[in-house]
Amino acid sequence: MAARKKPAATADAPDADPAAEASLIEDTDAADDELPISKSEAKRRMLALQAVGEELVRLPVETLRRFDLPERLFDAIVDAKRINPNKHGGVYRQMQYIGKLMRLVDAAPIVEKLDALKAPSRRDTAMHHLAEQWRTRILSDASALNEFRAEFMPDADDSEFESLQTMVGKAREEYLKHQPPKFFRQTYKLLLKYITAHAS
């Protein structure tokens, strides 16, 4: 009987090299980043950068200095501010130039600083809207005044609350009599005062 052949020994697969795997992943990611973008996407990005440039042009020069912009971009923005707004062609060409320069810089920090400048005004706008909403509620529903006190006047004494009650009563009266909205406006200002104090 022929001797049974032993199966050929197979070499164990070598352990994976983590560094090599990481390099391969990075190369793949880099390749993904280099994928061409569509014309519509390229146009969208260009318009977004140009919009950022337009916001920068509207800022005072002293504020612009805090952005630490590259010199060429800073000079282009200052030059745009000097162009007569009635010369539409000149303004358009300069904004196109600023848009091109924007593509050469990292726009993310610039956008962050612009957003930081807008934050206080957005907060103020939100509080103004809130005061208007509460005024509408309070004038149409007397019980809403107690809700307002609980939320925005927790530390106010009775005399402060009574002053607000009196103001609201006068605003209701002038509304029913079709009088000029003097106390209507004063009620709004008083509500805004407590809302602002509560938010700070």
State the number of CA atoms in the 13 A half-sphere of 9 facing the CB.
Answer: 2
| Domain boundaries defined on the chain | 39-105, 120-199
Whole-prediction pTM value? 0.47
**CA nearest neighbour of 199 among 129, 152, 133:** 152
Enumerate residues 6+ apart whose C-beta is below 8 A from 149. Answer: 156, 161, 164
19 pLDDT higher than 50: no
Q: Rounded to an integer, what distance in angstroms lies between the CA atom of residue 67 and that of residue 71?
A: 11
Tokens of 18: 């983590």
pLDDT for 106-146, tens place per residue?
A: 988 999 888 888 877 778 888 999 999 999 999 999 899 99
120-199 placed in CATH 1.10.60.30:
yes
The CA–CA distances, whole Å, from 4 to 1, 7, 10, 39, 125 equal: 9, 9, 18, 68, 90
Q: Each residue of 56-78: pLDDT tens digit?
A: 999 999 899 989 899 999 999 99
Look at residue 30 in the predicted model and tell me its pLDDT.
Answer: 44
Q: Which of 52-61, 90-99, 111-120, 169-178 has the least mean pLDDT?
A: 111-120
Q: What is the DSSP string of the chain?
A: -PPPPPPPP-PPPPPP-HHHHHHHHHHHHHHHHTSPPPHHHHHHHHHHHHHHHHHHHTS-HHHHHTT---HHHHHHHHHHHHS-TT-HHHHHHHHHHHHHHHTTS-HHHHHHHHHHHHHHHHHHHHHHHHHHHHHHHHHH-TTHHHHHHHHH-TT--HHHHHHHHHHHHHHHHHHHTT--SHHHHHHHHHHHHHHHHHH-
Mean of the pLDDT values across residues 147-163? 93
Determine the pLDDT at residue 79. 93
CB distance 152 to 146 below 8 Å: no
